[in-house]
A and B are shown apart, each in its own frame.
Chain A
């Protein structure tokens, strides 16, 4: 008996926002085929929907992972320097680190929106990058603390803002991730339109 069940519309919309326009029809068709002919009959509606969402996540997060890794790397590098080579004034280091982090989120949004020609993809990429980076940054800081927690290190941690700052600042980046990713997305979609107009005027 043919199954005509449909996966969650919001998940499909997320997939559309994130994929290149040329890819959406074939990729969403592949997922729908698998959803209808094997996943839904075997698992029922609720678990089939969960499966579909996890598949969409695998598409959407693949690009964000690289930027999340870069973001975590710069955060953990800054944390390491603060703990083992504390400066007299943290302001400069903090400014550089914040600018780097913001730049990574902007580029993540730009890249996602450029690929998919969708501004929404930029915003999603920014949030996803910040979310993934929070998990790895906090985990990395926890591992560092497990190895190094002598009196000198704890003093350096206190002087650089304390453990609350180490474990909460990655989470604070979620909302900026949304705005910075969206900003990168706006720039990318505007640039794509300009390139399209220019290439049409050249007869390409």
Chain B
């Protein structure tokens, strides 16, 4: 099994997958915040995107800016095959860990 994705890395990759051709920095941040139901710093998302690109899981390109951004370009991200494979592996691992247990956990005694 190749190196496991962290939870936040998974959140960012899944956001890119959901957003498809609209997956640029700000949109990815909003999607991650919506799914995780908490505030996330832009720096954390940027650092994660940089790390994922270095690992070859995503690629990026600059696209057109918009007036609200002062015309500044947006960087759009796209999953690579390696990124899809990593997500599939992460899901397989999670399923294996939870196999035989019912979610949500109830009635288990903590010793």
Contact = CB atoms under 8 A, between A and B. Distances in A.
Contacts of A36: 68
Nearest to B41: A58
Interface residues of A, number: 21
Contacts of A32: 68-70, 72
Tell me what chain A mostly uses at the interface: helix, strand, loop, or mixed. helix
B41 A30 contact: no
B25 A25 contact: no
A23 B26 CA distance: 13
Interface in B29-84: 29, 41-44, 46-47, 62, 65-70, 72-75
B74 A26 contact: yes
A66 to B, nearest CB: 12
Interface size on B, as a range, is 20 to 34
A27 interface: yes
Contacts of A37: 68
A2 B66 CA distance: 12
Contacts of B67: 2
Interface string B2-43: 000000000000000000000011100100000000000111
Contacts of B42: 27, 30-31, 34, 55, 58-59
B100 to A, nearest CB: 39
Given A26-B75, A30-B24, A59 B69 contact: no
A33 B68 contact: yes
Contacts, number: 62
A29 B42 CA distance: 12
Contact of B74 (A23, A30, A54, A61): A30
Given A25-B73, A32-B69, A59 B26 contact: no
A28 B29 CA distance: 14
**Closest 9 A-B residue pairs measured CB to CB?**
A29-B72, A58-B43, A26-B75, A58-B41, A29-B69, A30-B25, A59-B43, A30-B26, A33-B69
A62 B69 contact: no
Contacts of B43: 55, 58-59, 61-62
Contacts of B24: 26, 30
A115 to B, nearest CB: 10
Given A23-B46, A26-B25, A26-B75, A55 B41 contact: yes
A32 to B, nearest CB: 5
B62 to A, nearest CB: 7
